Chains A and B, each alone.
Chain A
Amino acid sequence: MILLENIEKTYGAGETATTVLQGINLKIEEGEFVAIMGPSGSGKSTLLNILGTLDVPSRGKYLFLDTEVGTLSQDQRALFRRHILGFIFQGYNLLKKTTSLENVEIPLIYQGLGVKTCKMMAYEALKKVGLEDRIFYEPGQLSGGQQQRVAIARAMVAHPKVLIADEPTGNLDTKRGHEIMELIATFNKQGITVIMVTHEEDIAAYASRTIYLRDGMIEKEVNRAS
């Protein structure tokens, strides 16, 4: 479904230019659960941002179902994120002083759905992550694990094809971290492709395939037959 060919990412120009990614070739099939690992500065976040179309490659091809994503305009990339991708972040990135329901509604609002439909779908999504009794809570009133669940509900509410997760358990203790991973794994089993950056081996263990990056290049790939 996703095909990266010779992806290169360079920041700056001339002598100060730093190459963060080079020669990345990667193929991700629909329904896969891919973990990206690597030390700090290995380019794993940049790769994830490129996959999430928040960033664009300097060179190379990014094909999504035969669509050249790398050359899309800014608005087209926004539409791509709106309809195809879901995001969860290490720091949850929920809107402050905004209820869970309102947070989860946001992607639906940008899809132009009616008020009632938005509320219904947001409620359903929160129910799936087990927070149907917390819909009117604001992030400040929720624990870290609960906040990440709201974030997952927001990522999943518009039924995306791919879930992009940037260290989803980074701010959580081991127990909550595994609960979140179980949740993500459940969505993966329902057919959603998951691409996740992590630096914890036991979190990466949820993935069917782990890609190790080093100095902007793919060092090795480990397949976990499950």
Chain B
Amino acid sequence: MLRNAFFQALREIRRNLMRSLLTAIGIVIGIASVIAMVNIGKGASKSITQSVEKLGSNTLYIMPGQQRGPGNRGAIEIPFKKKDLETLRSSLYALEAISPVENASMTIIYKDQNYRTNIRGVENDYLVAQNWNLQEGRAFDKSELRTGQNVCIVGQTVIKTLFAPSELILGKRIRLKNFSCEVIGILEAKGANTFGSDQDDILLVPFSLFQRRISGSDNIHLMIAAVKENIPLVEAKVQIERLLRERRRIDSANEDNFSVRSMTALIDTISEVTTILTIMLGAVAAISLVVGGIGIMNIMLVSVTERTREIGIRMAVGAMAKDILIQFLIESIVLSGLGGIVGVVLGVAISFGATLWLDIALVIDPAITMIALLFSMLIGIVFGIIPARKAANMNPIDALRYE
């Protein structure tokens, strides 16, 4: 009986092919967009996570103030001083490297060229923590760091902008507003980071030089630390926190007035955001599924009315109400199910295309594919039940007489 109803449904769909196709398109679009949205969302999340991990999963960011929510720090912010840095560096075995970091955006001048770039005051440990090597030249030496001599290390983008292709770069002097510094090293190309900004658009100067000439204060607002490979990140984090609490004389009743964050925390935040986005996009797509379902109900109601006579004939030759119900229900399930299958294929194709287009990881979530397929059939049941009941509840004589 079910088998027959299934083939009968296929015949009916073929009989009104154009109408069936147009009806099913609603479901196709709905299912395809749900699958594409979820897959693309997951792929993007995976890619971001991967590249953040590449940035350094063993890196800790130490900053004054307490992060209370995304971008919302607490009111009291006592900056670190050089002594904090040195204590951390000398007392904590867990740290592979630790460097202060300070940023400024400034115009630099070389010959007749003006160029606005990122000036970053760091120590050599910054290169270690960022796993960043020099292509040419050398890092800062001890006296340069201590006294803040006028030297700098430049990134690839700065070089491409300021220097001619064959020009000798090391030893040249670059002007920064009121002082100039000698290029002693060239950084390897690093490319764009996860958020799309060019990491090579940079000029590194000794941290002490930055304080003296640019920021004009001895405050430290950010320290980057790399944790030794065999030591868990959490452990290093706890050690840093304990030491800083002690140095800042924070008793157990008070919260930290600084924060130690890791990329893993950032990854968590990012995946939280992408998950919410994925759910939102999926929900929007799901609405189109409901619209598609209403389309199916509409066409099934038309079909039931058109086939009133057929229903009468079937009842006359012995079809029970439930036989008619099953026939029309299966028809709408097959219709929406076929739409679902095409939608899954299309959705996977879109996901695949998007991964190439957006350069993100290809994720085909089998769960969402199965759920989408089942859901498309569920739509067939939910939106098919009213037309099917209408058909099943017909009176055989009236149905037979229907013109």
Contact = CB atoms under 8 A, between A and B. Distances in A.
A78 B315 contact: yes
Interface in B368-402: 396-397, 400
A93 B321 contact: no
Interface string B305-337: 000011011111111111100000000000000
A89 B399 CA distance: 13
A106 B321 contact: no
Interface string A36-49: 00000000000001
A215 interface: no
A112 B1 contact: yes
Chain B: interface size category: 20 to 34
Interface string A73-104: 01100110111000101000111110000000
A110 B309 contact: no
A70 interface: no
B4 interface: yes
Given A52-B316, A81-B316, A97-B15, A110 B397 contact: no
B1 A83 contact: no
A94 B319 CA distance: 15
Given A54-B397, A55-B397, A95 B313 contact: yes
Interface residues of A, number: 27
Which of A109, A111, A154 has the largest count of B CB atoms less than 10 A from its CB? A109
B313 A110 contact: no
A32 B309 CA distance: 30
A82 B1 CA distance: 14
Given A52-B316, A54-B400, A93 B4 contact: no
B318 A154 contact: no
A57 interface: no
Contacts of A49: 397
Contacts of B314: 106, 110
Q: Which of B15, B314, B320 has the most CB of A within 10 A?
A: B320
A87 B312 CA distance: 12
Interface in B43-90: none
Nearest to B320: A78
Contacts of B312: 93
A156 B353 CA distance: 59
Interface string A18-34: 00000000000000000
Nearest to B16: A97
Contact of A87 (B15, B317, B321, B322): B317
Contacts of A78: 315, 318-321, 323
Nearest to B393: A74
Nearest to A112: B1
B320 A93 contact: no
A216 interface: no
Contact of B317 (A74, A106, A112): A106
Nearest to B309: A93
A107 B397 contact: no
A81 B400 contact: no
Given A95-B313, A109-B1, A75 B321 contact: yes
Contacts of B3: 115
Contact of A89 (B1, B310, B400): B400
A113 B313 CA distance: 19
A109 B314 CA distance: 11
Contacts of A112: 1
B321 A74 contact: yes
Contact of A54 (B319, B323, B396): B396
A45 B343 CA distance: 51
Interface in B130-151: none
A79 B320 contact: yes
Interface string B260-284: 0000000000000000000000000
B15 A82 contact: no
Nearest to A98: B11
Nearest to A105: B4
Contacts of A82: 317-319
Given A81-B318, A97-B15, A109 B4 contact: yes
A52 B400 CA distance: 13
A83 B318 contact: yes
Contacts of A110: 1, 314, 317-320, 323
B400 A93 contact: yes
Contacts of B313: 93-95, 106
B15 A107 contact: no
28 contacts: A49-B397, A54-B396, A54-B397, A54-B400, A55-B397, A74-B320, A78-B315, A78-B318, A81-B317, A81-B318, A82-B317, A82-B318, A82-B319, A83-B318, A87-B316, A89-B400, A93-B313, A93-B316, A93-B400, A96-B310, A97-B15, A107-B317, A107-B318, A110-B1, A110-B317, A110-B320, A111-B318, A115-B3
Interface of A: 49, 52, 54-55, 74-75, 78-79, 81-83, 87, 89, 93-97, 106-107, 109-112, 115, 154, 158
Given A78-B315, A81-B316, A110-B320, 12 more contacts: A55-B397, A74-B321, A78-B321, A79-B320, A81-B315, A81-B317, A93-B309, A95-B313, A106-B314, A107-B317, A109-B1, A109-B4
A-B pairs with lowest CB-CB distance, top 3: A82-B318, A78-B320, A107-B317
